[in-house]
Every structure is written in structure tokens, then in C-alpha cells.
Amino acid sequence: MIKSIVISALCIAALMPAAFAERISQCEWFVGADPGPGNGTAISVGSPAPQVAANFTAGTGSLAPGLYRVNIRCRTDTTQRWGMPSPALLVIVPGLPPTPIVCTQFEWTVDNGAPTPVDVTDGQIITLNQIVATNGLPVGLHRLRVRTTDSGGRTAQFSDNFFVVTSTNPVVVRQVTLLDYWFDTDSPTTLDVADAPNVSFNQILATANLSIGLHRLNLRARDDVGRSGQPSQAIVIVTSPFGTAQTRTITAAEYWVNADPGPGNGVVIPLPTDSTWNSPQESVSTVLTGLPVGLYQVGFRTRDDLGRWSQSTTDSLIVGPVLVISSAGNDIVLNWQSGAGASQFKIYRAAAMNGSYALVDSTTAQSYTDVGAASVAARQFYRVTFQTTALSAFRLPEERPLRP
């Protein structure tokens, strides 16, 4: 007796106007008596879609030989309604070995038209993606019927689905000719654009008359027959009290290492390279010394002539180990220091300072002996790198109590 059978069906939600498009979100199957919507065996359908391929394996080990009806039904995510069961017939024949059934062909038809065959790649589970022409169909409800043929030449019963034809007009690509935009409830401003099915909106919008706070920017398009689309909305925040833009001057800058102490609490960068804070753009530099070996995050921000601090700009850096090289006979001995968190040191060697460094070895210790290296060449150049997964415990500025 066949212990299980693979069943494949195409489920299609009823086609409706775009604003009410249905998508299938759940499917289930049952054999025999209807257990009620939502109580059948679930079929995985993935993401909701107007049509899904319902592929599942139905266990038949408990069924006696004979004719059975396998029912499939689906539920849509918009109306949350279960559809009517779509039946298929299943025959259990005694004495047959459990041979896999392979689907070789699909057939589909609309209403009572002649079936259209679709050759598919043979398989136990297949997916049918087919564009069904609706030219010549009248406006209204239509039935789409789908069935399969297996490798034994057996044709299944039709699985019925329904769709709606809402218009018989030919598809015409419309052109966007005008754009309207406005803030809040203001009157629209019309922008003429080059006619095209898709256009880009690049416009500098004046905000001098807007109050400080939250505002809604509305944008809609008009096509070449004068129809306006629904507005697309975006949120704009006006933060400056100035009616016109004013150039601000940088008056100070600071940096910090690892832990941000807050605006005004970092390490002061004394002066820009020209020794004067007098420009909207300044070139500054600072030298960090005394950092232990490790990984660091460095932050930087500036203050303008109104006393406002900018957002922080951050970057990372790694301070490598200090390498000491000495010789012992024909051996070269390397020693270095490391901070907490460093591990798996890698030793590289080259014949010239700017040459190509090749990996020699790796170690978790803080020393390495390159045996016999002094007898190979008169001069050898070395680099030691390390891996770390945590920021160094070092920080600038030091921790301090919060201000009252």
C-alpha cells in the first residue's frame, strides 16, 4: 500500500481592483469529512501572494484501498475569509509498491474553454508560473481550472479558482507631466517636469515661513490626461529660528578615546593649524601618545560661535606592540609587549624594509625565536601583528562625576 503521496496544486486569490487586492496567506487540506475552516492540516505557503503553489505530502498509511477526496482550501489576508474547498480524487490501490509519482504536465482552462497544455520539468513537486491571457473575456467573474498529468498518464481532477475581469480597455502607459507639492495645508505649487512614466523630484524647498517644529510635505503627480494621483507624504522638521541661512564659525574642538564624556567634556584641541578659530572649516591635528597596545575608538566634535556642539565623528585605530629584535648566535629573537585582549600574534619577515612581508609563524606568547635566520641573510626585517576582539580599557578623558 502507498504510505504517502505528494500533491501539488495552484491556488489563486480572486482578482479585484488594486485597492482591494486579495493575497493568500494560509492553506490547509483534509481527507473525508470537513473538520471546519482552520482545522485542516496546514500547508506552508510562505509570504502572502495573489497565487501560491500548494505542495504537500498526504499520509495514506491509515487509509484502506479505495477512492478518496482530498480537499484544499485557502484563506486571504485582506478579508480573513476561507474559500470553498477544491477537491481532488485519490485512489489507494492494494499491493502496489511505494513508487514516487512524477508530475509531467499541467493543463489550464478558463470557464469551459479547451484545456491549454503546459509542459513542465518532471518532478514530484513542481511550480506553475503562467500568464493567463484575458483578452476577449467580458467584465465579470470567471473560473480558472487547473489539473495535472502524472508519469503514468493519469490526469487529475480539475482544481477550480476564480478571478474577476474589471476592465476590457487595453493597457496604456501614461506619462507624468506635472508634480504638485505643498507643506501641511498650504496651496500646492506646480512643477513642470519632462514627460515620462517615471520622474525624479529634485527641488530646493523654502522653509523660511514655516514655524519651528514638525511639518508634512505632500507630493503628487498628474498624468497626460489630467488625472492626479494620491499624495505621497514625508515628514520635515524645521529646527532653525533663522529666516535665512547664516554661516557659522567654528570656535573650539575636542576629542575623546573609547568613552564619550559628553559635549564639552572631551580633550581640548588647542588651536587649528593656522593658530586661529575664524572659519566655518578648520584644519586641526593632535598627537596621541602613551596609548597601551590595543584597539581604540576615537571621537571628534566641534563647537560653533553660538555655543552649539556638533555630532561626534568617530573612527577606530589599533596600537601595535613595541617590537625589540636581538640576536643569539644564528637565531633572531623577537620580544614585544601587549595589552589586554590581544591574542594570536603573527610574525612576518621580509628581506627589505619596504619589501614583501611573508607570514613566518604565529604564537600566543609575547616572544618568538626565528631559528637560524641570521645565517640565511645579513639583514632581516620583521613585523608583528595581533588580533583583538575588545576595546582597550584605556580612555580619554578619565572618568569624572556627572555635573549637577
Torsion of CA 396, 398, 401, 403, to 10 degrees: -40
pLDDT of residue 160: 82
pLDDT of residue 11: 58
pLDDT of residue 1: 40
Distances from the Cα of 50 to the Cαs of 26, 40, 45, 383, in angstroms?
12, 21, 11, 61
**Predicted model pTM:** 0.37
Residue type, position 20, single letter: F
pLDDT of residue 132: 81
* CA-based nearest residue to 148, from 104, 109, 101: 104
pLDDT of residue 17: 44
Size of the chain in residues? 404
DSSP state of 312: P
Q: How many helices (H) and strands (E) does the chain have?
A: 1, 24
Residues of the chain with pLDDT under 50: 1-2, 14-20, 401-404
Buried b (16+ CB within 10 A) or exposed e, 372-395: ebbeeeeebebebbbebeebbebb
3-state secondary structure of 47: coil
pLDDT of residue 16: 44
pLDDT of residue 242: 61
- What share of the chain in percent tops pLDDT 70? 88
Which residues touch 112 (CB under 8 Å, ≥6 apart)? none
Q: Is the dihedral of CA 386, 391, 392, 396 positive or negative?
A: positive
pLDDT of residue 210: 86
